[in-house]
Structure formats: C-alpha cells, structure tokens
Chain A
Amino acid sequence: MKKRFLLATLIAMAGVLGYAQQTMWVHTGHVHWAYNTESVGTMPYSSASLLTVLEKGFTLADVDSITVANETFTDDNVLVKYNNNVADVYVAGNIANHITAQVTGARVAVMQDADVATEYTYTLQGSSSSGCFYHAGAYKMTLVLNGVNLVNPDSAAINIQNSKRIAVQLADGTTNTLADAAANTKKAAFLVKGHAEFAKGGSLTITGNKKHALACNEYMEVKKTVGTITIVSAVADAINVTQYFQMNGGTINIQSCGDDGIQVDAEDTSLPEEDGHVLIKGGTLTINGSAAGTKCIKAEGSVDIQGGTLTLKHTGIPVWDEEDSKIKEATGIGTDRNLTINGAEAVVNITMTGNGARGMKCDSTMTCTAGTIDLNCSGGDWAYSTVDTSSVKCAKADYAFILNGASMKCTTVKDEAVGVHSEGTVLVSDGTLTLNTYDHGIKSDYDMEITGGTITYNINGNASKALKSEGNMHITGGNISGTVSGGGVTVNNEASACAGIKCDGNVTIDGGTFDLKATGSGGKGISIDGDLVINDCDIKVSTTGSRFGQSSGGGWPGSGGSSSSALRSSPKGIKVDGNITINGGTITVSATGGEGAEGIESKKIMTINGGYIEVTSYDDALNSASTMDLKGGYIYAVATGNDAIDANGNMNLSGGYIFCCGSEEGLDANSEGGYKVYIQNGTNLMAIGGNMGAIESGASISQTCYSGTASANTWYALYSGSNVAFAAYTPTFSSQGGGPGGYPGGGGSSSKTIVVTAPSTPKLYRGVTASGTKFWNNKGATNATGGSQVSLSTYSGGGGWGPGW
C-alpha cells in the first residue's frame, strides 16, 4: 500500500512539475525552426550575414526574427498548418539540418536529405482549398493527418515521393479530407511512392477527380486501429496498389468509382510480398462498383479473406476487351490466382445486379473453409455477339472449387444464371452450400466429389440441375437435399429437363444422405450419362412432374401416331444411361408423374447385390434396357400404371428379398425379344401383377414357385421353411391397366394373384404382425408373427398377354 502510494505521488509530481522545454524559434517566412535552447550551444555568426544553429546555416536576410518561448516542440517532428491560402511549416531543430522546406501559398514541399537515419513525423492540420503537401525522402517516415482538409486544383493533395515505409496515422478524433481536381498531373489525390501503413482512429475521406483516389506504388496495409477511410468517388480506381493490400481492421467505404474499387497489381509474381495479393483479416469493407467490366476487388495475386465483413455491390455489365478479345465481366471479387475464405468471423456479402456478372471469380482454386458467404446475382445473360456471351455466375473458379467448412449461399433469378461453376473440379467436404438459383446450382466441368457438408437447393429454371458434373461424380458423405421445379426445354431438337444430380460421366456413391425432389415436367432426381454404382447411402428421390414434350401417342398398334423420343423427356427418379450396380445403402424412389414416370432406369444393365430399395412409381419401378440381375438386397417395387420390375433383356433373380406389385406385371422380361425371367435358387420373392400376371409368361423357374391370393393393404410374411424370410405390406392395388384403354377386363381389385418363392419350401401368412428390423419406410420387416396361412398352389408360369389383346 505504502509502495503504491509513494509511486503514485512521484508520478503525479512528475506530471505536474513536468518537463517544460524552452524553445528558440527561428522564423524564416512561413517556415519556423524550433530549437531546444538546451541543445543549441554556441551559435556562431559569420560574415555578418550567416547564423549557424546546430550545423544549419541561416542566411540572416532570410530570418524574419528569432524568438524564445517556454513551449515544447518534439524532436524529429515537422508540423504543417494550413489556413486557407497560406501554410506554415514548423520544424524541430534537431532535424533542421536535414530538412528543406518550401512554402508557396498553401503548397508545401518538405524534403529530408539522404543522410536521415531516424524516422521523422510529419503532421498536417488545417484547411485549404488550394493546398497540398509534397514530401521527398529516402528513409521511412510517419505522416499524421490531424484534422487536415486539402483540395489541390493542379496536383495531388498529398504526394509522398518516398519509396520507404510511410506510416499514415489518422489522428484519433479527427476528420481529414483530400481531393484533387481534373487538372491533377499525378495519378491520385493521395499518392504514396513507397508502401503505406494506415493506423489510428480518425477518418479520412478522399475524392479522386483525375484518376485514382488513393494510390500506393508499393503495398498498403490498414491496421486494426484505423478509423474510417472513405472514398467518395474516383475517376479510375478508388484504391490502386502494387505488391499487396492487407486490411487488419478499421473501416473502408468506397462509395463510387469509375474503375475497380481496390486494384492490386503484382510487382514480382514470384515474391510472396510482391505478388499482388489481397489479405483481409478484419475490419469492415464496403465497395460500390458500377462501371462496365470492373471489379469491387481486383487482384493479380491471390485473395485471402480471414476475417472482416465485406459488403460488395456492383451494378455494372461486362465489357468487350478489344486487346484480349474477350469479355471482361463485372465482378465482386476477382483474382488471377486463388481465392480463399477462411475465417470463422469472415462475412462476405456480394450483390451483383448487372447482366453477365460474377460474384466471385478466380483463375485458379476457390476454397471456402470458414466464414459466411452470401452471393446474390440478379442479372441475366449478356451478349457482345452471337458467339461471345456471358451468363451470370455467383462463383466461378477456373481450376477447382472447394467447400470445406464455410457457409455459402448463392442466389440467382434469371435464365442461365448459375450458382457455382468450376471449369475444373468441385470438392465439397464440409460446410453448407445453399443454392437458390434459376439455372444450375453447382456445376463442374470435370469431376465432382462430395465427402461431407450440407448442400441444399431450390432450383426453378427449366432444364436446370442442382448438381451438375461434366466429369465423374464421387459421393462418400454429406447431406444433399432440395427441389428442382422447372420444366423441360427443347434445344437443338433434343429435350432436356431438370435434375437434382446430373452427371455426364460415372457416379459412385459410397455414403451420404440425399433428399432430391423434382416437380417440373420431365424432372429427374438423378440423371447419369455413364454408370452408377451405389455402395452405401441414404437416398430419397421424388419426382412428381409429368412427361415433358410430345407424347408417344398410343403405343398400341393402330392407335395414334408417335413422334421422336428425343423431343420428350420423361420424369424418372434415377435415370442412368449406363449400368446401374447397387451394392448397399437405403434407396427410396417415388415417381408419380404419370406416363414415363419410372423409378429407377438403366439404359444398360441393372445389378442389385444389396441394400434396401423401395420404389413406387407410375411407370416401371425398376427398368433396364438390357439384363437385370437381382442378386441380393431388399427390393420393394410398386408400379401403379405399368410393370413393377421390367427388363428389356433377361431378368435373373438369384438372391435377395423382393416384393413387387405392378398394375401390369410384377416381373416382366422382354419375352417378345426372346428374353426370360429366370427365378433361381436363393430368391425370396413375393410378386403381384395385374391382368398380365405376376410374372412374365415363359419364365424359367429353377426354384419352385407357388401362387395364392393377396389382399391390398395387408401385412404378409413369407416363410422360407420354418423361418420368416421377410414381411411386406401390400399397397392399394391400382385400377389401371397397361396402356390407354387398359386391358379388357382390367381394373382395380382388392385381391390379386401373388406368386411366392423361397430357398426352402415357402409358406405365406397374411395379416401378420411385423417385427424385427423395419425397412421400406415400415412396409417391410425381417420378422413377423401371427396371421393366417394363405393357401398356395404350385406355380408353373404366368399368363402372358390375356384375351382382349
């Protein structure tokens, strides 16, 4: 206690009694030299015309007066005071010998010689509408803006021709404004030849009426302590920097500019400190852009956002670059290298309203690891010519797009306007991606890989895809859900419809959770041009739209005409032009849009080895253009308007647990083409058909089958020997026949013929209580108890086309 009291007392005494310096002022016109009387020593006169003070010679003819005052002027300081049309410069005596100062009206030039090896501080204050500050030197310096307001009608308001580090301090609590005029002979209203580091909490407002508002020939850093830097307007860039731009805090507000908001050029692309990068670690950055083909942030090097809040708005459209013969789009953030957003506190909001705009664009890899990103692009297409066009993209990467932790949202409203487009690959491993777009949600020109994260989408343009890969697609995890609601379109005599997932190559699914809805005409949950392999997953697909395009007419000989199938697109849950192989996972598909609405279709071979597969559809629940091999898994296939399971080649059943119920047939192979249903040992089957029978006629039955009668909406248990193979809940039986007009005698029924088979002598019980593991959304179970036994008789083969053909 006593110690502290004594210490406090001593400090207070020191403060009160203080350090009162005595200053000798040498006044030479509007330049005043402040010498500490303790320091000056003997001041010799010579030739009756010269006075030397601390090695500085004063020509007495230039000396207006010498005065003495009890005041302190800090060493190493220069103070410039502006007062309308005049300015006065005050120079600390200890540096006077290294300083040359010239004042003409309110135009001040202060040069420090090459011998300077100590940092001097230059403080500007006051106002002038015809004033400026020019500095030249070869050693770093501090420039304090302490309530200075300068307009220079013929040059830069502040011109620092010092190539070293310039610490620009916005004195706390002060307001500073700078402006040039159209006659400015320099490239900016505030020009720094060297590298500028901005600090302190005052405000600085700059207007560039000739070219740039603020320009640094080397790097620019904005410290955490910075108050507010406002660019009211600039004819060209608001801030033009070479080497790099780094913002650690503070507020920068760019209200308007004729070119880029912040442009950063590289001086040497091989050096990290000169490669033209942008690093934002904190602060608030607001930029409004409008000029065609310009960017809010334009960097020759990479852009790295680790923090801060960025609000970027741009209303401009693209421009045709004659020199490069290409379109330059209006862009929120554009970089010739990588764009990385990795900061939990980082917030990036970009709003682009012009046609053909880009929210974020990078020529290499775009990586979103942490932070919140909201990209809203409301424009439509832009065309320079019929072949040179630009469509809107919220995010575009030329090499790769990686989402591994950030939360990103993309919104577009016009045709061709895409959420994310990678001209290379896409990787989503973590984070959230929300796609509310008119056209594609996320598109990759090469492979797309999803290992984690959450993707949700609401896509409403015609023929738009939520996830589109022009390469292969590999999904091992993550959550993907959403709705594509647009209809189909016909382009170049080919129909195209919406899809939740569209892949031009092969797709492998090893994990992940999917909930994909398509509501428009011809819409698909998953559409794949190559092969599909599903090893594990939880997939839910629903399509409710009708067929897009011209119908196929009657289909029955003698009925109405038909047209090219290329002009129509049928709604399908999962449509694969190549082979389908399902080894595991839980797959639930619903395709209820009427004619053509198939559940799972392969244009080649379908092989099911495992998994829990539940398909309800209007048209075929499972359809293969070639062979279908059902070797395992639990399969529930119900078609209300066609076959439950339809192979246009041979259908081979050799395992698994299959419940199928079709309004035409339960199992249909292309017998017209000489193909058959093969029921082999190991199959557990409950098959229900319409008037065409449970199983296509001519089936090859190696494992004895039995037939009985099944009722709708009832639990049935199939026993293999004395053990329950599986239990299934029968659906409401469809009243439809196969084609228009139905089958003679067709129509709905509360009971239908059911054909069963099992590895051991099967028994069928109805009205059982399901138990054990439930699947097929509680329409299947591994066990059951109770019920009453159904009478079965040996089944040797189904009826084919019935009377009334």
Chain B
Amino acid sequence: MKKTIITMLIALVALFASAETYNYLKFTKTNGSTVTYSVEGLKLTYDDTNVTITNVDGTATLPLAQVQDMEFTNDAGTTPGSQIGDVNDDGYVNITDVTMLISYVMDSNAVTINLSNADVSDDGNVNITDVTMLINIVMANAE
C-alpha cells in the first residue's frame, strides 16, 4: 500500500516538475548586462537593426548589435522597470536618462519618470544626488 502511494506521488510530482513555465524572457547583451521582460503578452518583432519587445508592460527596443542571446527565466533580474538609472524605462541607461532626471529634479511636473529607477542613491529621494550618481554610471558604461 505504502509503495503504491509513494509511486503515485512520485509520478504526480514528475508531471508537475515537467510542466515548468517561465515568467520572463531575459536578453543578455554583448556587454554582459541583462534585461528581462515579462512573457505575458510577449511579442518580438525585428527590423534591420532592432528587436522590439512588446508585452503587457509596454514596448521596448533593443539594438540587435548589442544583443548576444536570450533565454527564458523565472528570475526577474533586471527588468526594464527595475533597472537602476533607466529613468525613462527604455531598457537603457544613458545620457537620455540623465537629461530626463535633470528635468525632473528641476520640475517634477515636467516629465514622467520611473521614480524607482531614478532613485539611484536608494535613499528614498530623487534629487541632485541621484543625478550625480547617474552621470557617473553613464560615464562608466561608455568606457
């Protein structure tokens, strides 16, 4: 009796074990950084230079030249919505983010940004300190 129950449980576990689904598609860039996107409503399209990622969260674009590979994962990792410094949520941390952060710091009503990503210092505030730190990050990425 015990053996039968154990056997059935193992079989059931095996069934569930093989039915793994993924919540994210992770892109690994040529510079080693990664960005993940939710698979919910996911659609990738390609043109000559970019891959456009569309899902429930919106639309993002990655230059194909910067993309190394992609894989499915359940690790949220660095999602477009949680990449520190990616103020405009485009999956990149660059001078555009610096510009938008400066505009926000000067006038919070001027632009809409990802406040979480903008809090580069992680002190709960978005201010000039974050601008300074962001510039350093961008300059470091450019090297």
Please give the residue numbers on chain A whose beta carbons come within 8 Å of chain B beta carbons, in ascending order: 2-3, 6-7, 10, 13-14, 17-22, 24, 37-38, 40-45, 48-49, 60-61, 63-68, 70
Contacts and interface: CB of A to CB of B under 8 A. Distances in A.
Given A19-B19, A48-B49, A48-B64, A67 B8 contact: no
A24 B48 CA distance: 22
Given A60-B64, A68-B42, 9 more contacts: A10-B9, A13-B12, A20-B19, A38-B20, A42-B70, A43-B70, A48-B49, A48-B64, A70-B21
Interface residues of B, number: 32
Contacts of A61: 46, 48
Given A45-B67, A48-B49, A10 B8 contact: yes
10 contacts: A10-B8, A10-B9, A10-B11, A43-B69, A45-B67, A45-B69, A45-B70, A61-B48, A66-B42, A66-B43
A38 B15 contact: no
B39 interface: yes
Nearest to A66: B44
B108 to A, nearest CB: 37
Contact of A3 (B1, B15, B20): B1
B25 A48 contact: no
A73 to B, nearest CB: 14
Contacts of B64: 45, 48-49, 60
Contacts of B9: 10
Contact of A37 (B16, B22, B49, B68): B22
B1, B8, B16, B49 pick with most chain A CB within 10 angstroms: B8
A354 to B, nearest CB: 65
B100 to A, nearest CB: 28
Contacts, number: 80
Interface of B: 1, 4-5, 8-9, 11-12, 15-16, 18-22, 25, 39, 42-46, 48-49, 63-65, 67-72
A61, A66, A68, A70 pick with most chain B CB within 10 angstroms: A68
B8 A6 contact: yes
A67 B43 contact: yes
A206 to B, nearest CB: 41
Given A7-B4, A65-B44, A68-B42, A43 B16 contact: no
A14 B12 CA distance: 6
Nearest to A13: B12
Given A7-B4, A48-B65, A70-B21, A60 B46 contact: yes
Given A10-B8, A44-B69, A45-B68, A37 B21 contact: yes
Given A6-B8, A40-B72, A64 B21 contact: no
Contacts of B18: 19, 38
Nearest to B64: A48
Given A41-B71, A42-B71, A65 B43 contact: yes
A673 B49 CA distance: 128
A224 to B, nearest CB: 32
Contacts of B43: 65-67
Given A20-B19, A44-B69, A68 B8 contact: no
Contacts of A63: 46
Contacts of A17: 15-16
A511 B4 CA distance: 71
A65 to B, nearest CB: 5
A49 B49 CA distance: 8
B52 to A, nearest CB: 9
A22 B73 CA distance: 12
Contact of B4 (A3, A38, A49, A66): A3
Nearest to B40: A68
Contacts of B71: 40-43
A44 B12 contact: no
B69 A22 contact: no
A456 to B, nearest CB: 66
Contacts of A7: 4, 8
A44 B68 CA distance: 6
Nearest to A6: B5
Given A3-B1, A65-B44, A21 B19 contact: yes
A84 B68 CA distance: 41
A18 B21 CA distance: 13
Contacts of B11: 10, 14
A70 B11 CA distance: 22
A62 to B, nearest CB: 9
A10 B67 CA distance: 45
A41 B26 CA distance: 11
A32 to B, nearest CB: 13
A235 B48 CA distance: 53
B54 to A, nearest CB: 9
Nearest to A64: B45
A44 B20 CA distance: 22
Contacts of A70: 21
A615 B33 CA distance: 119
A68 B42 CA distance: 6
